[in-house]
Amino acid sequence: MRSAAGRVLSLVLVAVVLMSAVGLAASQTFVNKTGKTVTGIRITFSKRVMVTRHDSAFPDQSPRGRSDQFTFSGRDLRNLGRFSITWMPSSAKVKDYEWIEKAQPAQATQGTSPSSEQEFTLPDPNTPPILYGNDYPGPDEPLYQPKPDEQIWLTDADGHEDIYDNDSIKINYAPGFDKSQITKINVYRNGMVMRFLPDTFDVLTNAQMQTFDGNPLEHSPASSHTDHAIMGYEYEFKILSAGHAWIMKKTVKSGFRWWPKEVWAEINSNWPDFLVKLSYCDMVAFFKVLKHDGFTGVCLDMRYYMDTPYDNRVYVLPTRDPSVMMWNNRTASDEELKTALKAINEAGVEAQVRSMIYISHEYQSGNRIITENHIKPSNPALFFQNHGDMMLALARILEEYNVKVFTVYEDPEQLEEYAYLLQKKYDRITRVFSGELGLDEANNNMLNNLFGEEPPDPERFGEIAGKFWGWIDAYGRPMIREYSCWAIPMDTSKDQRASVMTGKFVKFWKYATDYYRRVFSRNEEMFGEQGVYDADGVCLGGNKYWNMQEKKVLDNQEAADVWYGYLKGDQELGIDRINIWSLPLGDFWYGYDVGDFMICFDSPMYRVITSIIAP
């Protein structure tokens, strides 16, 4: 399966133009003066570059695309041998380079002092696969039939063509093929070299496929186990002899497949600024890729602002202002919103719009971090009137473009006490908007407070739950009950295990779902904002979630594991309307290697999600 980015050539070309500085390419030749034969070179640049060519002395490059560090390998280079490389932009300079004698497993550091460093030990490559309770093909699965002229091909251990997340990958040779001519086998997981493998082997075991040795290019710390989600991952084999290279790929299929009623791709709130970088046709193509990969709809955020949490005025921010918004976002104009909604309609997917209120950065800089959870207007009636006027104008646009779901509030924790005023506002909106109305409740915060008790008291959730869910719209429908969901708690160990996440996730959320289904049984349910930061240890739960995020230790694999746990848990909870947070419009970002929470097309998160939901 080709990556989503690869399926939309125009997006790739636009991204390359945008992310590359205009200028001439630069070149440099490196001479091996180590006095030894080396197997590769690692080159670090002053900023991110695109490698436009490199010579065949080292045929393999990792990563592909833009980065500030590359590793080249694949053959041996004798003493005084040369290796040349060309890159863009020419303004980037080589900061450092290192000849590689032999790729070694990473060192795992415990603590911060040098005396606490311990050598990382690779997991046993023969560890049996974890089945995760999934459905895998049985013995009737068809065997792969090699072509008459095929010399080398890949299958699972039993000769089947398809590779599932519980399979190993076997290298098969045609009868009479001389295996002794093979000098090196390199394997790339999602484009990153698996540097801990031996030079040659016959089987890439399932345990090796799930081994993470702390390769900095993968942005995932070393893991002591092989309990990880690899669904949708691409394993590329480069099998080398003295005069030939065989290149072949396998994409891992998921033993867990699920097609929820709705899967929304929530576009990150900086989407208005990417409109100028993306043609209308390319925006439609981007949305069509999402549809192809299993998303049923696209969700857009509309941001609004308040100077303090006690104001009664909500306003739009037409241009970016760091004093108001620390992430430099702004409010999309009516025309920008209409353009995006038109593209969503043309792509053949449904539309959702979420209204969000942010407190000014200027206020927050002198106080603690304040979010919309903390809005407490001095005059509630005036606040609801003013905000209602804005939402009424927005709803008229959404009606014009057949938006299916309008989420009027996200995390209105303090505002929930004004249930009557809140319902009156929804009464106004339903007169001009025929789609469904939702409210995204701050359930993660509510449940976190509940779990502060040992053991937690399930009855107490009713004391803090919303009292407005009995509201009915003009068409006889209750509002959608949207759960705001983050990875709290998903595991008890920082070196997380995918197999334990679903059970902990379901147990945590059943306190909310059991209560609401009993008391407000008519409401549709949705995970209205289901997201995760990819910082190491965020799935430990509680306040540790935010503490780990602040440390900025990236863990792309943990984020992928969490998404596997989410989707399994969503199915078990019986919630089949899911909002996945968040994707950058047009896949414009810096690549998943930068980390953060963006679900880019080639990221581990996207691979796992789409391997489960794709048609």
User: Residue ranges of the domains in the chain?
Assistant: 4-100, 123-251, 262-613
Q: Which CATH homologous superfamily contains domain 262-613?
A: Glycosidases (3.20.20.80)
**pLDDT at residue 24, rounded to an integer:** 67
Buried residues in 343-376 as b, exposed as e (16+ CB within 10 A): bbbebebbbbbbbbbbbbbebbeeeeebbbbbbe
**Separation of alpha carbons 613 and 615, rounded Å:** 6
**pLDDT at residue 454, rounded to an integer:** 63
CATH of 4-100, one of 3.30.1660, 3.60.21, 1.10.20, 2.60.40: 2.60.40
CA-atom Rg of the chain in angstroms:
26
Q: How far apart are the first and last CA of the chain?
A: 13
**pLDDT at residue 76, rounded to an integer:** 84
**Separation of alpha carbons 351 and 398, rounded Å:** 9
H-type alpha helices, 520-555? 544-551
**pLDDT at residue 459, rounded to an integer:** 77
**pLDDT at residue 103, rounded to an integer:** 44
Q: How many C-beta atoms lie closer than 10 Å to residue 481's C-beta?
A: 24
Residue with tokens 């908007």: 433
**pLDDT at residue 243, rounded to an integer:** 87
Q: Which two tokens stand for residue 424?
A: 């009156």
Per-10-residue mean pLDDT, the chain, length 615: 44 35 71 87 89 84 81 85 88 89 46 41 94 87 94 97 97 96 96 94 98 92 97 97 93 98 95 89 96 98 94 94 77 98 98 94 72 87 97 99 96 85 96 97 83 70 88 97 89 91 93 94 96 89 74 88 97 98 82 64 95 98
4-100 and 262-613, same CATH topology:
no
Q: Are strands 82-88 and 117-119 parallel, antiparallel or unpaired?
A: unpaired
**Separation of alpha carbons 271 and 586, rounded Å:** 9
**pLDDT at residue 555, rounded to an integer:** 92
**pLDDT at residue 368, rounded to an integer:** 63
**pLDDT at residue 460, rounded to an integer:** 80
> What counts of helices (H) and strands (E) characterise the chain?
15, 23
**pLDDT at residue 113, rounded to an integer:** 32
Q: Please choose, from the candidates 15, 28, 194, 221, the residue with its C-alpha nearest in 3D space to the C-alpha of residue 109.
A: 221
**pLDDT at residue 25, rounded to an integer:** 79
C-alpha dist (Å) from residue 377 to 14, 306, 314, 355: 45, 10, 11, 18
Q: Answer whether the bond into residue 241 is a cis peptide, omega within 30°.
A: no
Q: Please choose, from the candidates 482, 342, 473, the residue with its C-alpha nearest in 3D space to the C-alpha of residue 402.
A: 342
Residue with tokens 């070179």: 41
